[in-house]
Chain A
Amino acid sequence: GQQLNQSPQSMFIQEGEDVSMNCTSSSIFNTWLWYKQDPGEGPVLLIALYKAGELTSNGRLTAQFGITRKDSFLNISASIPSDVGIYFCAGQGTASKLTFGTGTRLQVTL
């Protein structure tokens, strides 16, 4: 099935640094979502975006719905060790189902 392209695939950063990751698609989406997956767990929703150009924050997380509706960005400020995990973007078009990105694996060192 179709997948969204996320970059970077993995990141190694130091505690306290800011993190940026993005997601691109060849298709237009009406909704963009960002999930985080911890080892051995299912993905957990972080942020949902419903309007092109929308910028939404959730604590240290900020995400944007690209104006073209074909991309989205997630930023994490002042990273901490518990930010470690895999971050997935997901897009939803006119149908109910979500298409997930390939994931960005984040490692945080002290």
Chain B
Amino acid sequence: DAGVIQSPRHEVTEMGQEVTLRCKPISGHDYLFWYRQTMMRGLELLIYFNNNVPIDDSGMPEDRFSAKMPNASFSTLKIQPSEPRDSAVYFCASSFGMAGELFFGEGSRLTVL
């Protein structure tokens, strides 16, 4: 069975551009999480969904960030406009139930110049 699939793996963009990161969770999982990883702040939870409904978005840095989950097999994280301080690795993870056993994708490394 395929794991969590993220795209793109790498993105380099200029400040002010819109960035869209994509995630396909593991089939059958009902929770989806978006994390951001940086050297300074480690792994930070941005937002998570349960059955496609956003439950907690308190980790989203500001209004420039938005996330959607239109169906059980797809989610997007959008940054508009992007800034250099958004440079990080963004991970999507999914789980079945609340047991905490998250399965992570390989991440999307974003560089904003």
Contact = CB atoms under 8 A, between A and B. Distances in A.
A48 to B, nearest CB: 6
Interface string A22-34: 0000000001010
Contacts of A100: 35, 42-43
B56 A95 contact: yes
Given A1-B45, A88-B43, A96 B50 contact: yes
Interface stretch (A13-21, A36-44, A52-60, A73-81): A36-44
B93 interface: yes
A42 B9 CA distance: 11
Nearest to A96: B98
A67 interface: no
Contact of A41 (B44, B98, B107): B107
Contacts of B43: 43, 88, 100
B105 A31 contact: no
A48 B100 contact: yes
A103 interface: yes
A96 B101 contact: no
B56 to A, nearest CB: 6
B42 A98 contact: no
A48 B56 contact: no
Nearest to B59: A1
Contacts of B31: 96
A43 B59 CA distance: 19
Contacts of B35: 100
B104 A96 contact: no
Contacts of A1: 44-45, 59
B42 A97 contact: no
B102 A45 contact: yes
A99 B59 CA distance: 12
A3 B4 CA distance: 24
Contact of B100 (A40, A41, A43, A92): A92
A8 to B, nearest CB: 15
Contact of B106 (A42, A45, A95): A42
Interface of B: 4, 31, 33, 35, 42-45, 48, 50, 55-56, 59, 91, 93, 98-107
